Amino acid sequence: QVQLVESGGGLVQPGGSLRLSCAASRSIFSISTMGWYRQAPGQQRELVAAFTPGGSTNYAGSVKGRFTISRDNAKNTVVLQMNSLKPEDTAVYYCNAAFIMSRQQLWGQGTQVTVSS
């Protein structure tokens, strides 16, 4: 069973930066789209950024230009670099793997990001 483990969350002031990491227990990037989602209290879970097996990326309009998703194939790690953070970025951030053939999805347990003065 593949596992996804997130790290890097925490408390940061508005305008600050955080880097979230998602480590997969084995190589899956060739067969899955990797994504970062977030869910704030009372809100639906939303896609923040995605990285396809072919290497293309997509971003939510609210984070475009501020967040960057990348991956390290050798380390089975996906990173979300978050800059110019705003209070509205506060949420639990989840790593997701969407497998292309089976259409199954895996989720990490989430990491809390709080942007506050």
Say which residue the tokens 């953070």 belong to: 85
pLDDT of the residue at 91:
98
- Smallest CA-to-CA distance from 26 within 75, 71, 72 is with 75
Residue of 70, 93, 105, 106 whose CA lies nearest to 10: 93
At 1 the pLDDT is 83
pLDDT value, residue 24: 95
Instruction: Measure the N-to-C terminal CA separation of the chain; round to a whole number of Å.
Output: 40
Q: How do beta strands 18-24 and 46-51 pair?
A: unpaired
Q: What is the pLDDT of residues 2-61, one digit of tens each?
A: 999 999 999 999 999 999 999 999 999 999 999 999 999 999 999 999 999 999 999 999
CA 3 remoteness from chain centre: 15
Q: Where are the beta strands (DSSP E) in the chain?
A: 4-7, 10-12, 18-24, 32-39, 46-51, 57-59, 67-72, 77-82, 91-99, 105-107, 111-115
pLDDT at 40: 97
Q: In what order do the strands lie in the sheet with 4-7?
A: 4-7, 18-24, 77-82, 67-72
- pLDDT (tens digit per residue) in 70-110: 999 999 999 999 999 999 999 999 999 999 999 999 999 99
